[in-house]
Structure 1
Amino acid sequence: MIGAADFTLIAAVIDKQKHLAKYTAPADPYEIALGFCMERLQRYLMDKKQADRLTHLQVECRRQAEDAKLELEFRRICDGNNAVGKMPNLDIRFMDKKHNSTGLQLADLVAHPIGRHVIKPDQPNRAYEVLKAKLRTSGRKN
């Protein structure tokens, strides 16, 4: 079903152990991933001539303090703290798992195979092979 579905996938993977080992004051990996994904999303919307339309990012709730911190970073990124510029067309929605959101369910399904591919690229990963064609990558106009 995933292979037949028409969608473009934007993803970011942060190896937390390598990130912590590399930096003396590491940035929050969720905030880094959020920034990467927002930049790619904005470029995608620009390519599709849709950057003038409101787009909602659905984010799964974690804890109140973490959600507030992530929302603050989201606002900073939208205000221009990124490689693309201001993103007034983006808005964030925090969703509880209880809402049974199709988007969050899809994100759960694709996250593990993508992360596993990045951490162990030589390991067979049939799920990633299906997802690979849907990934938005540099220079690609999905």
Structure 2
Amino acid sequence: MTHVHAPVDAPARLRTAGLRVTAQRVAVLEALSQSAHAPVDALHEMVHRDIPGIALQTVHGIVNDLTDARIAQRVSLPGAASSLYELARGDNHHHVQCVVCGRVEDVECVVGEAPCLTPSDPHGMRILEAAVTFRGICNDCA
């Protein structure tokens, strides 16, 4: 969760996506912009500081709304206790994950243009994206 995005104009981003601007949505979107690859419980903890009454289930609902609106995207990694979320970048980047501490970092496209990889047999499908997860041990854990 070390990669941090530039500040986001949350109300404008919500309006552009056709979502109603609420204090809770703004707070969740701002928390998401401050901590890439965050599980919902971490986002809830961040938002709870400013909005003490917000329920974990409310944050789940907001993250789902942001994902459906393509403002956020879900990152499912092997061995992760739960899905992680990040601001949608509109690209085809990948991830590297430490198998010891769980740290996750972005990896830009490995080679060439998106979708970066060509399957040996696409089975008649037009490929839209490729998701690769590199797993290793970070220097701190080694």
Q: For this structure pair, what is the TM-score category when the shorter chain's length is used for normalisation?
A: under 0.3
Which gives a bigger RCO, structure 1 or 2 (Cα 8 Å, sep 6+)? 1
What TM-score does the superposition give when structure 2 sets the normalisation length? 0.27
Q: TM-score if structure 1 supplies the norm length?
A: 0.27
Greater helix fraction, Structure 1 or Structure 2: 1
Which has the larger Rg?
2
Higher strand share: 2
